[in-house]
Structure 1
Amino acid sequence: MRAMVLDQFGGRLQLKEVPDPAPPGPGQVLVRVRACGLCYTDVKIASASLPGPLLPRLPHILGHEPAGEVVAVGEGVMSVAPGDHVALHIYLPCGRCRACWAGDETLCDSVRQLGFNLPGAMAEYVVVPEINAVRIGQHVPLEEAAIIADAVATTVHGLRERAGLRVGETVLVIGAGGLGLHAIQVARLGGARVLAVDQAPDKLELARKVGADDAFLIQSEHAAKQVLAAAGGPVDLVVELVAKPVTMSLAAAVLRTGGRLLMIGYQPGVDVAIPTPDVVLRNLSIIGSTASSLLSFRESVRLVEQGKIRPVVTDRYRLEEANEALERLKRGGILGRAVLLVA
């Protein structure tokens, strides 16, 4: 099968012929990948800028936002059949540790992940456990189904499971890119008033189109005043997707007493801080959130099927154009999410 392979950190991906996966064993599903979304984490992996334990052994196939068509199933598989369209949850936890028992499988000490420590979906085929292949209606384009795995499910998990979004709250989304555009939709769906900030004017316009009540430039010295004025006062929840000192300062400036800061974005090697008096004396809650649970993933698939969340795919590339797509993503030239059309 064809795959884009990373042979050395910092180098370009190489289009290669690699062995097909083994036929699916009991409880496994063979999927022909039709689309694979691109995430800035792919840039971090390829450039070796993630912490060492998260980096794969080389050579490696990237890709952790896959969707495709079931080709074959192993013995005992009942939830999907050949011909079904599926979106894939990328986390393969052990199922035996304390984190798994608590439903926090992304924190499993021995978790395996497609595109991280397992071969990813920038390839024509992958094999996954049945539980990871979630059937999705064929009315949903597979290029949109692909980005459910990260861009959609990460925000559903963060806002609903981690931050406990409540009806009637005001939410500020910092960063209106691939994740932020879906965080806006999730917050609106949860009954919140939503504001957004970003450094790119065209992203602000797209943020308004997907449901933001208003959007502002982060570079403006008046950004905090604009947010407070539009919100009618401090906000209940900030969704931080950028992780830079300027954005953390903005979050602290606009959160109400007792407010919550949901941190999803991160930058390796960049430390950010909020003054301790703000956290302690104003009872601020700082909540970290990574990826999604299987529960949030399945919920995200249903929300997309029902048209309640629309995956925002703005750029499409062929598999062999992965390097060009990643370079454009690195430069900040992609408004929503980019997708590789694999087959």
Structure 2
Amino acid sequence: MKAVAVFPKGREVKVIDVPEPRLRSPTQVRVRTLEVGVCGTDKEVVEQKHGKPPEGEDHLIVGHECLGEVVEVGEQVKNLAPGDLVVPRVRRPCPRAECTPCRAGYSDFCVTGEYTERGIQAAHGFCAELFVEEALYLHKVPRELRGVAVLTEPLTIAEKALREVAHVQTRMPWEKKEGGRAVVLGAGPVGLLGAMALMRAGFQTTMYSRAPKPNPKAEMSESLGLPYVSSKQHRVEELVKQRGRADVVYEAAGVASVGFELMKALAPNGVYVFTGVPGSEEGELDEGELMKQWVMNNQVVLGTVNAAPEDFEAAVADLGRFRAKWPGGLERLITARHPPEDYAEVVTGRKGSHIKDIIVFSRG
């Protein structure tokens, strides 16, 4: 079958032919890949900044944002059947008995770092015509979400973040009013989906992104009723003056200098969520002023990565709500679909679109 793989030694990305996977246990499911999303993590894997092939292999089949259709189930699988649409989770638990999160089913909080991640860390991904997975790691998707369900995994980032924010804010010894103000940093797919989740949760949300208007991301933001402010044209102080201080800041840009500058926009008792993983940056940081701000304002700075099973279920449910609230909005977020042969050009940006690029394996 056809698969897209990265070969770290030769720094190559190419379409290869590999054997079709078969069920090896009664709890497994064979899935036909429909679509695979391309994101910044994939670019880091290709550039060898992150991830590695499975032990003993010279290549890694890429792809971790996936939508597929079940073609075969093991005899002990009761909750899935051929024809069902499914989205797989990415991370698999580490083997250490002492890792309480992994043993409890929350590998997103793994403390050993010995987990595997499909398409990223020591496990082949989903950018192939077929894959086999344990039923435990597959989430069923309603057929009516066929056109947008590939967005499930990037939406889980926001679902986990919002779940953690809600838990953190139970520290307040008084009844909290619904919602509040939020700022999202970065108008890429993770930022836009995060903004939609925040708006659904009742937050008055503002998008803060680099490019001045007009641009496709600003147009997408404003089509959702989401005010867009350019960080290139408006300093953080101006953003605060226009929109007020934010109870939640959701960082989705992966740029440390801008991320820390936006700390100035966080309201007292607020929560700042980092989701991006930046490269090396040089810049000036006033650590004393930041420490003083956090202490004097009872603020929380939260880093979050990966997602739990309930976040995938919440994301599937929210995709349905988003389609009802913003008809056509999710469809517009997917700005280009490509054949597998274009993967290398898409992931490096030579053939990428404005917002979200998808690799298509089957039109089924």
Q: Is the TM value for this pair above 0.5? A: yes
Structure 2 partner of 1:115: 119
SS in 1 for 2:143: coil
Q: Is residue 359 of structure 2 the alignment partner of residue 340 of structure 1?
A: yes
Supply the distance in 2 between the matched residues of 1:19 and 1:279 (Cα, whole angstroms).
54
Partner of 1:85: 85
How far the C-alpha of 1:122 sits from its partner, in A, is 1.0
1:20 partner SS: coil
SS of the residue 1:328 aligns to: coil
Letter in 2 for 1:216: V
CA RMSD of aligned residues (A): 2.4
What do the CA deviations read for 1:57-96 (whole angstroms, capped 9, x no partner)? 4311110001111010112101110111111112222596
Gaps of 5+ in 1: none
Who is 1:285 aligned against?
A: 300
Deviation at 1:240, TM superposition (A): 1.0
Evaluate the alpha carbon distance shift between residue 107 and residue 313 of structure 1 in structure 2; reply closer, same or farther with a 3 A threshold: same
1:227 Cα offset (Å): 2.0
Number of residue equivalences: 333
State the partner residue of 1:25: 25
Q: 1:157 aligns with which of 160, 182, 185?
A: 160
The alignment's TM-score, normalised by the length of structure 1, stands at: 0.89
Using the TM superposition, give the Cα deviation of residue 245 of structure 1 relative to its aligned residue in structure 2, in angstroms: 4.1
CA contact (8 A) 1:174 1:242 kept: yes
Q: 1:241 to 1:133 in 2, by over 3 A?
A: same
Residues 161, 245 of structure 1: alpha-carbon distance in 2 compared, 3 angstrom cutoff: closer
Does structure 1 conserve the Cα–Cα contact (< 8 Å) formed by 2:237 and 2:264?
no
Matched residue, 1:172: 183
1:35 aligns with 2:35: yes
State the match for 2:220 in structure 1: 206
Provide, for residues 219-264 of structure 1, a one-character-per-residue CA deviation record: whole Å limited to 9, x for no partner: 12x3323321332x31111111123344124322111122211000
Residue 132 of structure 1: CA displacement? 1.5
3-state secondary structure, aligned to 1:207:
helix
Residues 320 and 308 of structure 1: is their aligned pair in 2 closer, same or farther, counting only changes over 3 Å?
A: same
The yes-or-no answer on 1:188 pairing with 2:188 is: no
Distance 2:262 2:336 in 1: 30
> Which residue number corresponds to residue 321 of structure 1?
342
Residue pair 1:68, 1:85 contacting (<8 A) in 2 also:
yes
Identity %: 24
Deviation at 1:211, TM superposition (A): 3.7
Q: Deviations over 1:303-343 (max 9, x none)?
A: 223435864311211111101211228x9x54322110012
Q: Which residue in the other structure is 2:172 paired with? A: none
Measure how far apart 1:169 and its partner are. Answer: 1.0
Instruction: State whether residues 216 and 223 of structure 1, in contact with CA within 8 Å, keep that contact through their aligned partners in structure 2.
Output: no
Contact 1:197–1:204, Cα closer than 8 Å, also in 2: no
Q: Is the 8 A contact 1:163 1:260 kept in 2?
A: no
Letter in structure 2 aligned against 1:155:
A
